[in-house]
Structure 1
Amino acid sequence: MDGLPFPVPAPRIWAVGALCRAVADALDARFNPVAVRGEVSGFSRAPSGHCYFTLKDAQGQVRCAMFRRAASLLGFVPRDGDLVEVQGRLGVYEQRGDLQLVVESLARAGQGAHFEQFLRLKARLDAEGLFDPGRKRPLPALPRAIGIATSLNAAALHDVVTCLRRRAPHVAVTIAPAAVQGPQAPGELVAALDSLYALATRGQVDVILLVRGGGPIEDLWAFNDEQLARAIVRSPVPLVSGVGHETDFTIADFCADVRAPTPTAAAELAAAARDDWVSDLAQARDRLWQAAARRTDRAGQRLDHAAARLGRPLARAAQQRSRVDRAAQRLGQAVLGRLRSAQDGIARRGAFHVQAMAGRRAQAAQRLDRLALRLQLLDPRLVLQRGYALLTDPQGHPITSVAQTHAGQQLHAALADGEVAVTVSPGAANRP
């Protein structure tokens, strides 16, 4: 035995799966639960809702998995390079034999206590239904007035006002000032919202923006206040939260009717661009004018057909057609003038009253229908259909008196379904 006093025992032969489980048990007993600080790398979210990433520093790295339940509590989206602190359980992913950290909570480094507080409040308010999508309201398409709750010294206020002035200068803006960070901020924000709510109940505010620029979680903490959350939920009008940057999430975001990624985006969501509405109005004007022209053309065509069916040009029909043509021309000019006046007024005042245009269109259509009815009532064929005849001499002049006739004179008689030639008898001519 090569000089050894006793034989060396053979090593235990493990099944691969059993070895992985044994290592996992040893890690669990030795380390778990574990808290780790490191830099995020390769963060991704699977369709299942689970998140996967690597936590690393200069000396090493460990693969991490964050399952859907824990991932749904994230208050921000981790990005590569973020320094974070995680809590979880270290184990072995047996299918690959890899060391894996199952993450149960994740926060930016140095924010662990704040983050845990955020998660607890978020879970409690969610359970009460404050985040229920069913209570979220859509934003008004054409707000008349917008209320803004923020600090007068905040850059966010300048961004929002500039955006509103560019997109919708006709919309009135009311600012309710409040601190947006510090211990006094939550109370001031609630008071600012209450002042806007009072205006909203009187119809003087249609939508409210709660905005603040970005910053670390400590600067945004006022927007994670429970009293502010409950104040947001009782807003009488839709409320948009635009707090921080796109990757920042606060309790206010979950309570608001709409969450905007930035303050400027909140302004864009609240007020549609005036130019878009002006363009829509111009298209409506063109469609209305074309419809009026088509109705006028059809009425003139019906008149032409009526005259043609009489067989001969009738002076009265020609006169009525001329009257209809003049009336149609005046109607078209009046409609066009009204449309141009409406568009000019909208451009000056920024007021969009498409409903009024629809009313004018209906009035124009009714007036055209009345003219068509009057034309129809004046149609000579209606008289002929009652047994009368229209007498004309060979030159087409109407015979309206016996004094215009003489014995043996050849006349034309227009009946409802055609014409006949007649001769004046000697006994009928010049009869009184």
Structure 2
Amino acid sequence: MQSGLSKGLAIVTASNRNILSVSRLNAEVRLCLEKNIGIVWLTGEISNFTAATSGHWYLSLKDNQSQVKCAMFRGNNHRVTFKPKNGDQVLVRARVSLYEPRGDYQLILESMQPEGDGRLQQAFEQRKQALAAEGLFAQTAKQPLPNQPRRIGIITSKTGAALHDILNVLKRRDPSLPVVIYPTLVQGQDAAVSIAQAIGRANSRNECDVLIVGRGGGSLEDLWCFNEEIVARTIAASQIPIVSAVGHEVDVTIADFVADVRAPTPSAAAELVSRDLSYRLQQYQQREQALKNAIGNLLYRQQRALTHHEHRLSHQHPRRRLQQQSQHIDELQRRMHQALTQRLSRCSHQLNALNSRLQRVTPEHRIHQYQAQLAQYHQRLSHAMDSQLSHAQQRFTTLVATLDAVSPLATLSRGYSISRDSDGRIVNDIHQLQKGDTLHTQLGNGDIISVVQQLHPNQSTD
């Protein structure tokens, strides 16, 4: 694989000196992965599962150490028989590829099954291919059924419904035909060995002309003993022709491919091996079954060849490009949705911020602010006026007290008086007066008008 990868990327070596674009490099790596690795089978747990509107599925497969991205396009996922969900353990068939636009290594899933059924189906396909390659299914190795068998052997469970169905048909068609029952387990871990031993016992006793090996229907796990290699090889080595009659018509086991004739049901097997009134019809049925087996083998080989050619064609098929474009569209759609969500979130934040700013500058808000300031100023003015009035009252009281202290009226109230001449001038010198002058004297509680009759100046003053 390393040599293939080296050869595929030789164009980018230093000696070549070719300079590639990123797109060309991714395309070359994709081709290299698809050519050298191709189809793989793997199991893992589903995580990050997304069903896109385009119908494609995108998921990751992981174990306890690693994970890988996967895409399953709607052309393939419509064949999945269950609805995947995160946590499911699955078995997938996938093509290793690269998503060129992002350079992501990924798997393109072609089939998906629950891990248990998927492992059995995978083991069934692998074992069928291996045994087919050995020639165990070859038509040339098959023995013809006897035209008129003398005794029929039945290898099945002695308590199963298949035995009763076979015996009822044989009784109805040819009651005289002898039957030998070789009881065996037909389900469980020891069933394959038990079936092989019963076939070997029938061959060693060599008392029957044809053997019917089978059981009733069931799940793939229930019928698994008929897919075991020991049963297939024992049927192939049988000297007695064997008719495989396992399950219903839709059930197919490896025992059906190895057996000389495959019957769709146990009852049909009894029809094939028993004599009837119309012997020619029996021959026609045998030839028809042989033709079906031949056609089935031919179709199987053709299907393998067709699958191989389809795989080769898919590397150049336009559908590959359409799938990548569809995946790219899903990626762009996801990114656009994410960008729109982020843009809406930012716009919402901006709108909330602008609304908050608008609430802060709205006139109503400012009016409330001014009203609060006016109430505060009114309170401060009232306080200042009360303070000024109180201060003025205190100052007035002080001035009144001071004025009272120096007022002439206070002096007059103590027994003094003030005299004025007729011109209203205060008389403070006796020489200001003459005899006959009118004198106005102010007392504390009234005025006296008198006329000067006589003057008596102090002698010391002369």
**What TM-score do you get using the length of structure 2 for normalisation?**
0.41
Structure with larger Rg: 2
Higher relative contact order (CA 8 A, sep 6+): 1
Judging by fraction of residues, say which structure has more helix. 2
